[in-house]
Amino acid sequence: DTGVSQNPRHKITKRGQNVTFRCDPISEHNRLYWYRQTLGQGPEFLTYFQNEAQLEKSRLLSDRFSAERPKGSFSTLEIQRTEQGDSAMYLCASSLAPLGWGSGNTIYFGEGSWLTVV
Amino acid sequence: AQSVSQHNHHVILSEAASLELGCNYSYGGTVNLFWYVQYPGQHLQLLLKYFSGDPLVKGIKGFEAEFIKSKFSFNLRKPSVQWSDTAEYFCAVREYGNKLVFGAGTILRVKS
């Protein structure tokens, strides 16, 4: 399978614990995105990388969240001191960088990692 | 920042009925628009996209969408739905940086 791969697919953790999710994008894609989705809502943007550089972070991404893409390939999203409000599906996506406004490249999504904080 | 409104959260149709799902975005200028679909247990998949040119865009599986700039709309249509179209449908607009702003989604159930 050459799509976007995420693991673990499901994680149940106790409040206060740290969790880490991994994303492996489509191999030639230089853009990598993290989104969060809760029940009844569409995905919400968290952050994105171009190669190893983190170019933008949403205000949804509190200080307890950190994302890295150390070698410009896979990425990790860590949540420290989890809270019940962090329960959601965390989606990773990847694309080629657009050549300009209007050229756009399709963003491909992974299957997501479900987090339940109890 | 853009926002996206999807008019119906749940739609139930019988097979062979026609489908139209509404989508409005908040402000104009140059926009790139998308419809994604999420089948039960699967990941988000692109149905179709609009960047420029013909405002009537055709996508996969017989879906199409019409961009109406004056109405800030990008409604999704299909002339005759099938049971296999049961899924959640998301409209999205691209913001600077190629990130997407999604609507809340419409859950479509097609009765066989």
Please state, in angstroms and rounded to a whole number, the distance separating the CA atoms of residues A116 and A89.
9
Does residue A77 register a pLDDT over 90? yes
% residues pLDDT > 70 (chain A): 92
Query: pLDDT tens digits for A42-58?
Result: 999 999 999 999 999 99
- Which residue of B lies nearest to A108 if distances are taken between CA atoms? B45
Reported confidence tier of residue A103, pLDDT bands at 50, 70, 90: low
Q: What is the pLDDT of residue A102?
A: 53
Taking the CA of residue A19 as centre, how many other CA atoms within 13 Å lie in the half-sphere pointing to its CB? 24
| Chain B stretch 50-109, residues whose beta carbon is closer than 8 A to a beta carbon of chain A | 51-52, 90, 92, 94, 96-105
Closest residue to B44, CB basis, from A45, A95, A109: A109
Q: Token pair of B80, please?
A: 């005759």
Closest residue to B32, CB basis, from A4, A40, A102: A102
Chain A residues in contact with B52 by the CB 8 A cut-off are 102
Mean pLDDT of chain A: 92
Please state, in angstroms and rounded to a whole number, the distance separating the CA atoms of residues A74 and A45.
18
Reported confidence tier of residue A101, pLDDT bands at 50, 70, 90: low
Query: pLDDT tens digits for B44-78?
Result: 999 999 988 899 999 999 999 999 999 999 999 99
Residues 6+ apart with CB under 8 A from A11: A19, A21, A113, A114, A115, A116
**A45 versus B97: which is more confidently predicted?**
A45
Does residue B28 register a pLDDT over 80? no
Query: pLDDT tens digits for A61-70?
Result: 899 999 999 9
- Which residue of A lies nearest to B50 if distances are taken between CA atoms? A102
Mean pLDDT of B17-21: 97
Does residue A105 register a pLDDT over 80? no
Are B102 and A31 within 8 A, CB to CB?
A: no
Q: What is the pLDDT of residue B98?
A: 73
Are B9 and A40 within 8 A, CB to CB?
A: yes
Kindly report the nearest CA distance between residue A40 and chain B, in angstroms. Answer: 6
Mean pLDDT of B25-38: 88
Reported confidence tier of residue A78, pLDDT bands at 50, 70, 90: very high
Q: What is the pLDDT of residue A1?
A: 52
Are B43 and A4 within 8 A, CB to CB?
A: yes
Q: What is the pLDDT of residue B31?
A: 84
